[in-house]
Amino acid sequence: MRIAMIGSRGVPATFGGIEHHVEELGCRLAARGHDVIVYARTNYVEKPVDEYLGMRVKRLPTVNRKHLDAIVHSVVSTQDAMREGVDVVHYHAIGPGIPAFLPRSFSRAKVVLTVHGRDGERAKWGHGARAVLSSAEWLSARVPDATIVVSRDLQRHYATAYKRRTYHIPNGVDPAEPREADEITRRWGLTAGSYVLFVGRLVPEKAPDLLIRAVRQLSGDRRLVVAGGSSFTDAYVTALRESARDDPRIELTGYVYGDVLRELYTNAATFVLPSSLEGLPLTLLEAASYGTPIVASDIPPHLEIVGQEAPGRRLFRTGSKDELLAAIERSIADPRAERAGAAAFRDDVLDRYRWDAAVEETESVYERITGPSSKAQW
């Protein structure tokens, strides 16, 4: 099949869970013989390429503003995909899926939309943007030939709110490539087990501010590394830096990728994700794949991955600074026991969340909706 991937910022993926999802999905579909086009934004891809890991990459312009960046790029990408005559237009995320009615109405292409989270609930949006995204969520349940969700929580939401049957295809994760502390020691003076780690976009719903407030009350010299950057949230990032300014234990590194990120995951005492809103977070899966102990808020997508609290996987009540601090203290109190529990959890995560399985299930969705007996909005 000829498949267009629309909605990510592009590949090669640097920051962004959707970008990594599209890269992992697209390269495996290409390896299975499909012609995969990934539409990339010119303001994301640092080193332009026309082909990457078997995928064709088409860089198209957009408007580099918070409210227009994704939707403008999605519209121009949709128009190009229709000219390409693809078999499947696969949108990623609710907002970029707004133009899905175009190929559905004016081309022979089938439309798939993967919901990675409830975008209208994100704190960076004002009332107008939230209203638009609320409408986009309704469209995501009505327009596509098939709607995919990455978590059971999202599947329950679509069944309850829209009476829409969805395909549950969770994110995957590959076995980790551990790396000893090297570059992170040169850059920031970090050594194995000396720091607590957060990785992700610096946005209010991921709650790095809560984590900073908790760690400021943590006794001892354990450091906090916040690896991430702005997502049209510059004022929030400035406030984070100001809140950490007088505590030398707190390091805001900006976005990190590749081997440096692998070093950070490998050598962290514990990884913390205090989010109030997620789809199915790749960073949590990635941290678990290294056998790194984790601390997570008790939102449904986290519980879907973690299950019950145990050594190596600690939970706390969402939004509670005191309970977050206590969970971090439990996670670092007995490193040997926590690492043993994290190792067992790693094996469980690698068994349950596999990219190859996600690709096979996605391919079966394509086959179902493009086959001769397909029915729209099954």
Residues 6+ apart with CB under 8 A from 273: 198, 200, 206, 281, 283, 284, 287, 294, 295, 296, 297, 302
pLDDT at 374 over 70: no
Q: Can you give the pTM of this predicted structure? A: 0.92
pLDDT tens digit sequence for 335-351: 999 999 999 999 999 99
pLDDT of the residue at 62:
87
- pLDDT number for residue 39: 97
- pLDDT for 134 equals 86
* 175 secondary structure, DSSP code: P
* pLDDT at residue 231 greater than cutoff 70: yes
Phi and psi at 309, nearest 5°, equal: -65, 145
Q: Where are the domains of the chain?
A: 2-172+354-370, 183-352
Average pLDDT over residues 46-71: 88
Whether the per-residue pLDDT at 113 is higher than 50: the answer is yes
pLDDT of residue 372: 73
Query: Worst-scoring range by mean pLDDT, 131-140, 198-207, 277-286, 307-316?
Result: 131-140
- pLDDT above 70 covers a percentage of the chain that reads 97
Report which of 283, 197, 207, 202 is spatially closest to residue 238, judged by C-alpha positions.
202
CA separation for the pair 278, 18 (Å, rounded): 12
**Mean pLDDT of all residues in 284-312:** 98
The CATH topology of domain 183-352 is Rossmann fold (3.40.50)
Question: Could you tell me the two tokens for 98?
Answer: 């707004």
306 pLDDT higher than 60: yes
The full DSSP string for 17-40 is: HHHHHHHHHHHHHHHTT-EEEEEE
Using 50, 70 and 90 to split pLDDT, how confident is the model at 378?
A: very low
Spatial contact of 25 and 359, defined as CB atoms under 8 Å apart? yes
Comparing 1-10, 128-137, 291-300, the range with the smallest average pLDDT is: 128-137
The reply to whether domains 2-172+354-370 and 183-352 share a CATH topology is yes
Mean of the per-residue pLDDT values for the chain? 94
pLDDT at 127 over 80: no
Q: How confident is the model at residue 123 (pLDDT cuts 50, 70, 90)?
A: low
The H-or-E segment that residue 271 falls in is strand 270-273
- Six token digits for residue 260: 């440096």
Q: Which of 3.40.50.300, 3.40.50.2000, 1.10.230.10, 3.40.630.30 is the CATH number of 2-172+354-370?
A: 3.40.50.2000
Return the H-helix or E-strand segment holding 338: helix 335-352
Q: State how far the Cα of 35 lies from the Cα of 363, in Å rounded to an integer.
A: 13
pLDDT for position 47: 74
Express each pLDDT in 48-59 by its tens digit: 799 999 999 999
pLDDT at 200 over 80: yes
- Provide the pLDDT confidence category of residue 377 given band limits of 50, 70 and 90: very low
By mean pLDDT, which of 20-34, 121-135, 213-227 is the weakest? Answer: 121-135
Distance CA 102, CA 40 (A): 19
Answer whether residue 25 shows pLDDT above 90: yes
Mean pLDDT to the nearest integer, 241-264: 95
